């Protein structure tokens, strides 16, 4: 049976030294990039597979539905992976529909709506809806360690510190 060693939300998906460093996490043998548009675009899918191969890990690029199916049917086989999405919403869907994630890193989310998105760390903007989704994952779905950290060498900010920005 496989497992998710690390969940990560980062709009850039696989990039530079960050993924190379994260892919060295104990037990990781694969990276699952879960994104509808990337999985359905052959050029982008091949690009991310190529970028992921530089980490030395097998890189699988699939849609959220295929990721859920692969978990439900095979529990990710023997893959111990980094589960990578561009958004909190997609990660939330994957976890609330059954994929088990114990550690979740929020790496990079750009501002989309200046009226709703708060800058919570140097590289992450969050709105209250996504803050509530992260709180729910922590309190109701067993995601024990949710933290904000753009790169492995950057300081970590824990979820309770971020939730204070929203009075949660």
> Which carries the bigger pLDDT value, residue 17 or residue 14?
14
Helix (H, G, I), strand (E, B) or coil at 71: helix
Assigned CATH for 3-163: 3.40.35.10
Domain positions in the chain? 3-163
Alpha-carbon distance of 112 to 126, in angstroms, equals: 9
**Residue 58 pairs with which residues in a beta bridge?**
30
CA angle (143 as vertex; 58, 80 as ends), nearest 5 = 20
Please write the tens of the pLDDT for every residue from 42-73.
999 999 998 888 888 899 999 999 999 999 99
How confident is the model over 32-36, as a mean pLDDT?
97
pLDDT score at 15: 82
What was the pLDDT predicted at 14?
87
Tell which residue, 85, 82, 127, 78, has the closest CA to residue 102: 82
């Amino acid at each position: 049976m496989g497992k998710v060693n690390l969940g990560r939300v980062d709009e850039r998906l696989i990039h530079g030294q960050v993924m190379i460093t994260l892919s060295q996490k104990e037990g990781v043998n694969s990276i699952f990039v879960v994104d509808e548009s990337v999985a359905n675009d052959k050029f982008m899918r091949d690009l991310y597979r190529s970028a992921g191969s530089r980490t030395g890990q097998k890189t699988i690029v699939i849609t959220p539905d295929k990721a859920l199916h692969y978990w439900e049917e095979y529990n990710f086989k023997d893959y111990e992976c980094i589960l990578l999405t561009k958004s909190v919403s997609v990660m939330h869907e994957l976890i609330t529909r059954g994929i088990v994630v114990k550690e979740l890193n929020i790496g990079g989310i750009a501002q989309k709506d200046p009226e709703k998105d708060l800058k919570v760390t140097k590289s992450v903007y969050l709105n209250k809806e996504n803050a509530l989704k992260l709180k729910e994952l922590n309190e109701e779905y067993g995601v024990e360690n949710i933290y904000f950290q753009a790169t492995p060498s950057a300081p970590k900010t824990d979820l309770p510190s971020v939730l204070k920005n929203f009075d949660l």
